[in-house]
Structure 1
């Protein structure tokens, strides 16, 4: 049996009343008052204390973090080893592809392929592959499931190989639920344990995931956040995450939600508030008396949208409500007992009398001030009070093109078009063509799901119907949702309004909204209309939900039903009727809105722990279609060169054991120049594959018909598709090709305008490295590794931006791309850069230091030379090593080869 190298602090002890051992945080009290630390910092501290081995985690790391104080800021680095990793299939498939490619590289270089194997437990939940092809009928669920397996057979066979080939790797089959909801309701343990010598050691559950909304588990008192796929792969292989000790912003909650307000309204307000506060790269931790008035599902709703307010985590400590949730979701009594004993012994349990921790900064929010709201039309932090929705929508129509504007003229406002799909209906700007109850943010919360059902019941009883041009869908985050909607007798009313269950997974929020009826799409195009989607999701970026919906609004599930009934977003829900009943009487929203008391009563009657134990009792084996997929063995994957889904990526082609020194980037040309708030949706291939895109031409050359294109997300295991789809978002405005929209650029040597992919090939022929220039918040959005992989394969070696979103900056370094940040107050405009220059770095050497100044030289067409200083956003010494090696996976692979 293995034993620890040492226990420097004498912290290892027996946990009272159990057979477990643990590492006592109070043993560090001689160093500092650990009781005053934020709960989230305590969990990081425990991980360092338990992992300290004198090699990867040093005693000095433990001491530094024990002395954390609000004044420190991000002043020192810590090596954090999470307890587990969670993947969803869009990001998980390329992670497994990379592991298979690393095994192949190990074999080529004479190493042992089986050395590439997850060291920590890894769960992959297949939840992003179902599309809403059919809707509005009882047949939709079956049809969409059939199509999902037809489209994704190759991917699923590959994942079955991975499940057999790798240790510590489990796959939750399709139609089980959304990864974050499954994590919250089933996988999350709050306290984990593992063998250590002859004993079992208990420790806080912690994780990283390849989806930014991994933070949802923070609502359960589990510390976890989203990372890039490449970073997650390193954690799987036993590497620590090297991170700067975070600043922690405390959010003090007081009061309780008023009548008519939902958890969704609360999270939209928090997202708006914290975006304005500025919490990017920081931990957020919630405290205060208001926590006692919140259900755990409400907390999880807030934690889920942490990426939208920009923080690394949005953490809620363990308390009595956590224990109640574990019991109510059918967790074993022994686990609940362990969680209670462990967290109380470690000072990780919050009570009403627990002194407030010391925070780096603080804000306060009175829950009583929350009002019904939406967010949009293009960003989740742009909250709009429901009472102002009508006037705000009109303002957005005529505002200049941008995050809050569509640039229409006054003459454009009256345009309409007719939809002839059984009924001839005139639609105009603001018509709701998609109304979707979807996404982990809300489908995990019974209060808002049952509120939607109650509103549907009252609407049906009032004789209301949904206009025929609205595409309605209900995609629960777990099968438990279907159970309690049925038990409450509410599912039939949702179905009468067209909200039939279309699948159990992430649909509209990830862009899997499926096609609109042809007549609706034609009307939108004929009228050049700005039409809307309303979804209970967390993302509404341009081009994400559907190519035809230019305005997209996040809303609570009951508001989704309300807007489906109204059929338009240019409506005053407070003073105008949302429809006319069968009796000809106008019906107003307040007449059918359920009261808080009604919702609470139905929740108490409809939910039971047995629902959870029954649905999750066969989570890994319950899908018969999955069980029938054949498996293939072998430690090396047999790559099929004819596959259009899975290909061996070229990242390790030509990899040598020796590392080349860091040198300057010379003679680079600009491929992409963009403004502020460019999201990973703009960069990474996402959503549907346009029939005129480079990816489409590639697929058609492989004899794939357009109806079988599937989505970019489903083809993330094929770098040939993904490279062609990088920067191909239909709403991207590349300033290197003025007047165009989509993935176009100017090939500078000749001045020709062509696709970004075509230009990259031409630059590659001449050996020209490429640059991307960007504004503020470059890379906002999901933790998409292809937002870094794609640019690398296009030939981009350097990104210069005014600021970077946390995960994307890390991903760039992880793929060997150099991120440089303009000095404060400087940008491309102030420096007179239009993108036509030739760029080089000056003095970049193997002595590169984190955060050092890097000089950039820009040569203009007339021969002028301009130099300016930038800040190197390689933030830690370990990241320097990653960059030197060409990326994080190259670093890990060389380490394994050297062992």
Structure 2
């Protein structure tokens, strides 16, 4: 390895470790790099072998202030791979096929295993066949196991057959929430006691949710994920990094969903496709990890590769709350601080040199909704009634439906399950709380529960034509 001289000893609770100390590069450019670029640099330094990763690649990342504008490619080796079942099954099939091929060649098939840790969460197989009753959860899970019996049996075999492969069974939760609450390591320690930051690529575009707790991650295709599983680096263009400075605090009437719709609108107007977004400023300190994860989760909607929140003390508190052991937390904090990867958002001196900087006062956020057609479009709640009615007859666009005025007020009456119902434009026919955007955030989930309770107290009920689900 080309940078062995950077290996530094570190002691945590009578345990000795080593790490590649990037501050020993003694290069003034390092302290000016965004934290997300420092993660790319650390990986390049650790894997520099003049074959997969060269010294020139390390220099390209270190000289990011200039190379970000030159479309230069760099290799990146993530720490682990995240799969959900739809893309995970083909990956395990490929590993099994490789074992068959090795066996046919007369070698030991058990030598075929993922090179890095791979986590596969079965979460995309559930469907809402039963709804609106207290037996729905049990019924849908029973149907899920029956419908996917062959696939689940195969994955259960894979869970015991391969090293470095963890398979989380059905019914445990959405892949990105499981990743955030259970799978994120923040800092790894390998078999030689070398510490390095957690980073991940996943076969789902919303893998970016993990950036909310300081793990650098994004979505890739199945072939790229399999390449990483087999020890190959990802080739990527070194990205520009947009700094997003947050100040103030969210008002009591606003949620993280309101905030992320505003951030999405601002970043889409700027144009961040293929770029990193890194959040900083005193406002970040007031956001919970669930709120940060909500913002990071919407990355595909605003088009960036990542929406990154570096690790701070609040991240460590969250990790403790979600069951990480004390030693691994102390080890992670000590490592991150020594390598310049731990931040204090309220420290005004923390201001890396970003490509561009946006600024948002959290106090300015107001309740809003997404839609009516695209998830990244934002409608302030106070304008909803007006915008929807005007959109019905406006020409067809992302907000317009192009109806004739006489059709905009049309109503249709029908009988359903012995009840007389009326449908008109604006009627809700699917009412679903789903996806990691909402279900991973306790604040918005409790808010939804309180709204539902108040609705019942006021005598409201769900019409029979509405399909309800909570996933």
TM range (shorter): over 0.9
1:153 is aligned to 149
2:246 is aligned to 253
- Is contact 1:74-1:247 (8 Å) kept? no
2:326 counterpart (333, 339, 362): 333
1:80 is aligned to 76
> Displacement, 1:55?
1.7
**Would you say 1:89 and 2:82 are equivalent positions?**
no
- Is contact 2:277-2:304 (8 Å) kept? yes
Partners of 1:364 and 1:81 in 2: CA distance: 32
Higher relative contact order (CA 8 A, sep 6+): 2
2:356 is aligned to 361
- Aligned partner of residue 406 in structure 1, secondary structure: coil
- Is contact 1:116-1:237 (8 Å) kept? no
1:53 counterpart (49, 53, 71): 49
**Would you say 1:210 and 2:203 are equivalent positions?**
yes
> Displacement, 1:115?
5.7
**Would you say 1:44 and 2:47 are equivalent positions?**
no
Q: For residues 648-678 of structure 1, what are the alpha-carbon distances to aligned partners after superposition, in whole Å with 9 as ceiling and x for unaligned? A: xxxxxxxxxxxxxxxxxxxxxxxxxxxxxxx
Partners of 1:48 and 1:240 in 2: CA distance: 10
**1:630-669 superposed matches below 5 A:** none
CA 236–74 in structure 1, closer or farther in 2 if over 3 Å, else same: farther
- Aligned partner of residue 15 in structure 1, secondary structure: strand
Q: For residues 574-616 of structure 1, what are the alpha-carbon distances to aligned partners after superposition, in whole Å with 9 as ceiling and x for unaligned? A: xxxxxxxxxxxxxxxxxxxxxxxxxxxxxxxxxxxxxxxxxxx
> Displacement, 1:116?
4.5
CA 84–175 in structure 1, closer or farther in 2 if over 3 Å, else same: same
More off after superposition, 403-412 vs 424-433: 403-412
**Would you say 1:408 and 2:403 are equivalent positions?**
yes
CA 130–97 in structure 1, closer or farther in 2 if over 3 Å, else same: same
Partners of 1:473 and 1:249 in 2: CA distance: 37
Partners of 1:376 and 1:159 in 2: CA distance: 38
1:239 counterpart (232, 241, 265): 232
Partners of 1:230 and 1:190 in 2: CA distance: 25
> Displacement, 1:271?
1.2
CA 81–465 in structure 1, closer or farther in 2 if over 3 Å, else same: same
Partners of 2:244 and 2:124 in 1: CA distance: 32
- Is contact 2:277-2:308 (8 Å) kept? yes
TM-score, normalised to structure 2, is 0.94
2:190 is aligned to 194
**1:721-870 superposed matches below 5 A:** none
Q: For residues 143-165 of structure 1, what are the alpha-carbon distances to aligned partners after superposition, in whole Å with 9 as ceiling and x for unaligned? A: 00110011111111221232233
- Is contact 1:74-1:244 (8 Å) kept? no
**Would you say 1:459 and 2:442 are equivalent positions?**
no
Partners of 1:111 and 1:244 in 2: CA distance: 38
2:26 counterpart (24, 29, 51): 29
**1:470-485 superposed matches below 5 A:** 470-475=466-471
2:116 is aligned to 120
Segments of 5+ residues of structure 1 without an aligned counterpart are 1-5, 476-899
Partners of 1:310 and 1:53 in 2: CA distance: 33
Partners of 1:399 and 1:154 in 2: CA distance: 49
2:126 is aligned to 130
CA 116–412 in structure 1, closer or farther in 2 if over 3 Å, else same: farther
Root-mean-square deviation over aligned CA pairs: 1.9
Segments of 5+ residues of structure 2 without an aligned counterpart are none
- Is contact 1:214-1:304 (8 Å) kept? yes
> Displacement, 1:72?
3.0
Partners of 1:176 and 1:320 in 2: CA distance: 28
- Is contact 2:85-2:121 (8 Å) kept? yes
Higher helix share: 2
**Would you say 1:292 and 2:285 are equivalent positions?**
yes
1:275 counterpart (268, 284, 291): 268
Q: How many pairs were matched up?
A: 466
Partners of 1:267 and 1:67 in 2: CA distance: 32
1:485 is aligned to none
- Aligned partner of residue 243 in structure 2, secondary structure: strand
1:395 counterpart (390, 396, 405): 390
Partners of 2:410 and 2:102 in 1: CA distance: 61
**Would you say 1:435 and 2:431 are equivalent positions?**
yes
> Displacement, 1:111?
8.3
**1:205-604 superposed matches below 5 A:** 205-351=198-344, 352-353=346-347, 354-421=349-416, 422-475=418-471
CA 49–464 in structure 1, closer or farther in 2 if over 3 Å, else same: same
Partners of 2:83 and 2:390 in 1: CA distance: 40
Bigger Rg over Cα: 1
- Aligned partner of residue 45 in structure 2, secondary structure: helix
CA 47–408 in structure 1, closer or farther in 2 if over 3 Å, else same: same
> Displacement, 1:122?
0.5
- Aligned partner of residue 432 in structure 1, secondary structure: coil
